[in-house]
Amino acid sequence: AQPVSCEKCGPEIILYDNNDDEISKDLDAIKDLAKQVNEGKIVAIKGLGGFHLICDATQDSAVEELRVRKNRPMKPFAVMFKNFEQLNSFTKLTSNEKEIILSKEKPITLVKKINPSILSRFVAPKIDRLGVFLPYTPLHCVLFKYLNNPIVATSANLSEEPIIITKNELFGKLSNVCDFVLDFDREIINACDDSVVQSINDDISIIRNARGYAPTVIKLAKKIDKKILAVGANQKNTIALAFDDNLILSPYIGDLSTINSMNFFKRTIDTFKRFYNFEPDVIVCDKHPTYETTKWAIFETTQKHIELVQIQHHYAHVLATMAEYSLTGEVLAFAFDGTGYGDDETIWGGEVLFANEKTYRREAYIKNFKLLGSEKAIREPKRVALSLLFDNYSFEEVVTLDCPAVHRFNASELKLMYTVWQRELNAPLTSSVGRLFDAVASIAGVVHEQMFEGEAGLKLEQLYDWNRAQAYEYEIINGEIDVSKAIKEMIVDNEASVIATKFINMLSNIIVNISNKHTNLPVILTGGVFQNRTLLELTTKRLEVLGRTFYFSKQVPLNDSGISVGQVYYEVNRD
């Protein structure tokens, strides 16, 4: 809260250089900082929930240098604009997007950008979207009085670590990234990143649930007599708790792949326990044995002799949407994402489930394919593409294909990849639609090495042609959704826009056609793949025309940040 913003008796503001030497104070500090930004420098500025790294969004040299220093080669940056009029001149907005951008929450909103513009080509390279937001603190508003242009404003943190909240930590970790630091004397108690949202069918869909929206409270249909803590997934982690008739979702915590991020996870749990005077009677976690959340939950329940419950990842996705709408009874759910530990110990991610609040059954799934090199295949879509080609052609045929994915390997690499595929060496099976997007992006020649999560899906989406109705063929045999015919047709098409369009249309057909066989059931669309705005809007419009009842999460993120909500909802309804 900023109840006092007076420049005389409000917060003391100090500008430092990157040697931690004080340069100026208060309004002079803001003016000096603006001057440095206007001249192309990279600076850090303290916000509500942590520090931002900022620079002039119109200067190629500044934005490119920020990418080099932060080691963020391609992932798009968010841009903060002085006011709506300035923002509107750089973007194509719907009335709903305008409403979201101007709302009191002031989230980062993903919108269509106008090209060409004076924004640097390095802000969101080769992407037709832009994450935009408006000033949301008095400090931002005053700063913009002295800035010439919009600014890149990205979280100050090391890769996969929480946002930095103190000047000392900033200098300890990012002194080589920023030229100057603007600090003030109000301590940030709880780190909180910016929220990220997008507009879907003139409604909001929250991608990152944080500043302005979190903690999110969902009212339960009944009071419960136990206290439940759910610890979520390993990526895009959040926690959730339930007591009485309240289900509470924490702000976004992040990926739990470092010691610092795990410490932040534990601090968040401690903060929530203290704030809500809460000690859990039961802890709910994922079934994945190597998730840090699973290991923490097992240790904690063993030490404190409390009950542990483990829930399958994709079922938790389904339950998260059911929780948001207080649904009970059977649903037909499509849980499409990148990775989740399956009941058969393979990697799930293309699941069709019959589910209710107590149990589920796997009805169908994308036919398994191999991830050549396991984790490496997630970073290199060309490996997934090659695996699907080996599934459908002989080795001799693959090496002669006129396919961009094949051309990314030399002869000896192709032989090695074929051996890995043939002998199943470090090549786990998956049904993941997220990985299917990766493979198609490589076959289409769009993305072969992924520079940030979701790049393949995002770039396929912007190639989609709404005027093309054709779709690739598929078959369902004994519950396996076989896309072999589609892969072979892609090789013939050999045109990125055609491949992207027919592939997304095929996924929509799979959902609609399976739904038409179960017209008595409401449909749920969940999982990170449905953050693909084109797929979600296309499919929901078709279901709407058919008069079907369908749901997708809006206030609870569709991605793994919603897992903890689903975990809680299971325990709430467990007898």
Comparing CA positions, the residue from 237, 235, 238, 201 lying closest to residue 218 is 238
Residue 158 has what pLDDT? 86
SS3 track for 157-198 = CCCCCCCCCCHHHHHHHHCCCCCEEEEECCCCCCCCCCCEEE
Query: pLDDT > 70: what percent of the chain?
Result: 99
Phi, psi for 112 (deg, rounded to 5): -75, 135
Which band of pLDDT confidence, cut at 50, 70 and 90, is reported for residue 176? very high
> Can you tell me which residue has the tokens 């879509």?
381
What pLDDT, in 10s, does the model give residues 504-549?
Answer: 999 999 999 999 999 999 999 999 999 999 999 999 999 999 999 9
Written as six digits, the tokens of 542 are 């078709």
- Residue 528 DSSP code: G
- Identify the bridge partners of residue 254 per DSSP, sorted by sequence position: 237
Helices marked H in 393-548 — which ranges?
395-400, 404-407, 411-423, 433-443, 455-461, 484-493, 496-515, 533-545
Q: How far apart are CA 412 and CA 4, in angstroms?
A: 67
Residue 1 confidence (pLDDT) above 50? no
- Cα–Cα distances (Å) from 152 to 236, 418, 522, in that order, read 23, 44, 42
Q: How many helices (H) and strands (E) in the chain?
A: 20, 25
Comparing CA positions, the residue from 306, 292, 336 lying closest to residue 535 is 336
Mean pLDDT of 402-424: 96
Mean pLDDT of 129-157: 96
Q: For residues 331 and 318, is the Cβ–Cβ distance under 8 A?
A: yes
Q: For residues 437 and 457, is the Cβ–Cβ distance under 8 A?
A: yes
- Cα–Cα distances (Å) from 96 to 93, 199, 207, 211, in that order, read 8, 7, 16, 20
Q: How far apart are CA 258 and CA 261, in angstroms?
A: 5
Residue 113 confidence (pLDDT) above 60? yes
Q: How far apart are CA 111 and CA 404, in angstroms?
A: 30
Residue 396 confidence (pLDDT) above 90? yes
What pLDDT, in 10s, does the model give residues 326-367?
Answer: 999 999 999 999 999 999 999 999 999 999 999 999 999 999
Which band of pLDDT confidence, cut at 50, 70 and 90, is reported for residue 9? confident
Residue 563 has what pLDDT? 98
Which band of pLDDT confidence, cut at 50, 70 and 90, is reported for residue 159? confident
- Identify the bridge partners of residue 282 per DSSP, sorted by sequence position: 228, 307
Residue 4 has what pLDDT? 62
Rg (CA), the chain: 24
